[in-house]
Structure 1
Amino acid sequence: MLIAALAATLATPALAQHQHHAMPAQEPEPQQDRHAGHDMGTQEPDPHAGHDMGAMEKPVSPGPTMETPPPAAAGSGPPRAADAIWGAEAMAASREELRKTHGDFPVFWFQGDRMEAQLRNGADIYLWDIQGYYGGPTKRLWFKSEGEGAFGDNPDDAEVQALYAKAIMPFWDVQAGIRHDIGGPDTTHAVIGVQGLAPYMFEVDAALFLSTRGDVTARIEGEIDQRITQRLILQPRIEANLSAQDIPLLGIGAGLDSIEVGARLRYEFIREFAPYIGIEQSWRTGRSADFARARGEDPSVTSFVAGIRFWF
């Protein structure tokens, strides 16, 4: 029996190994489809299908303040690298040519801002208001002229100005020069003023005048273009004239001499040419109104205007 039990013990591992190789490998049980019997055609699409869910969990970029800073050596080179290679003297001619062809070169501009007829109650007049300049973006020679007169007569109020202008800040020039009156009493004035573009696109022209007789006067003009369409533009305009003293020779009283308020509607057939119509109301005030009445004039006048505006 001892021999038989020992033989059985030795035979058991061999038998197990034989059975392990002899038995076929069992395949795993197929899992039951949890969507079996469902109509997949009616299933709503997964809103996250095709999205990288890992990318969605990434934090939003904190912005440029957290980006990699520039290297310490950035900006430590010469301000003009070409000078370091070719020398400043060799590059001077090229730099001057670049300056001339990229903004700092003289141009000529001329504009007839108001060339119009003013239809009043039995006292129709013609009026002109022109200006222009020659020069670069920071230094210019300006010329201006305006005046008016009755149809068929010489101008009874006219002037020309020659001014030197220098830019003092973006969109603003300070101007200085002379003004000479060619209608009415022959008078010359020294002029100093500013002209430019105020906030909200208001065009402003303000000047102080000192005549050879010692009279001090001032003028402020403002206008703005209100674009209705690409070609139809409404331009409200206001002008005020002031004086530091009475000037009976010119019919001007101290303080606010006159004020004009109007609006002109123009149509730009091309940007450089636009006819317009409009209305304007003017008042003489204070002593100026008294001077006007003494001449038989109405100190308050309403005018219907028609004219052209052009530039080149």
Structure 2
Amino acid sequence: MRTPRGGWVAVLATVDTKAQEADFLRRWFQERGCEARVVDLGLRPPPRGVPPADVLREAVAQAAGAGPAEVGQMRRDRALAAMGEGAGRLLLEAWRRGELRGALAIGGNQGTAAACIALRALPLGVPKVVVSTVASGNLRPYIHASDVAVMFSVADFVGGPNRVSRTVLSRAAGMLLGAVAAEPEPQDGKPAVALTALGNTHGAVSSLAAWLQQEGYEAVVFHASGAGGTAMERLAEEGAFVAVLDLTPHELVGEVFPEDIYAPVQAGRLTVAGRLGLPQVVAPGGLDYFIFGTPETVPAPYRERPTHHHNPYNTNVKAQPDEVERVAE
């Protein structure tokens, strides 16, 4: 399988600790006719003798507005964020020039954090894959509302590729190459309208989507899960929609009460369409209950209220009138 229309894919890694895995991926792509370039997100110089990166850590740090020495003096979390931001700028520039076709990142906790910051800089629709040792944890802070495909590494990235990690890395590389080769179907030219939904508004949203299609519009529905509403507003800012039917702004509950697990990834829900001047209809769908995880994660003050056990990992609890009023305000 070859990369369509040329170009190259990025392999993001901290080369001081993941050089062998990054080089394995680079060679995997090259053996299949696809150019791959390793982008070094590391905070330290790579050891002598390891396969070098194609985009050095010095270039990444400079793209973040700093040099390696300055990054090295930052607090660790800020240094990783700076490297992620620098790599993101370089990737976005390459995408805009028509060179970059997709990106694959590997990492432990620290590398995943920096890499996801970089991947989030790319537009929605650009193929992105991350292979992470912490994929079984809460990755919302890492991914936000970006369309990053996540794969658990199973084994750690220590000591070079082995019988476990080689399989995982090869499958992840195949995922990216397949995504790069899968050209999206051309748009049909219909204007698009965004809608938001949860299970309790599914019927109304489905009916409206069918009506919009009959009227010559394309209906694009977003699950009001925190990431969904944020993704909808990000696409609206990119000019994807001619109108918004925000029938399920449940994420406002999470914005006022952060214990709700469907809090928006980005604050300021319901502000984008108005700022852009898009026609917008808002209904109070999903504002009368909280969404928590498994039953044991429901905070103690909410446990005696009427509860709907939506699935094994999702528990809905009725909101009190004064709480709904706070959301309305």
Q: TM-score, normalised by structure 2?
A: 0.23
Structure with higher helix content = 2
Q: Which has the greater radius of gyration? A: 1
Q: TM-score, normalised by structure 1?
A: 0.24
Structure with higher strand content = 1
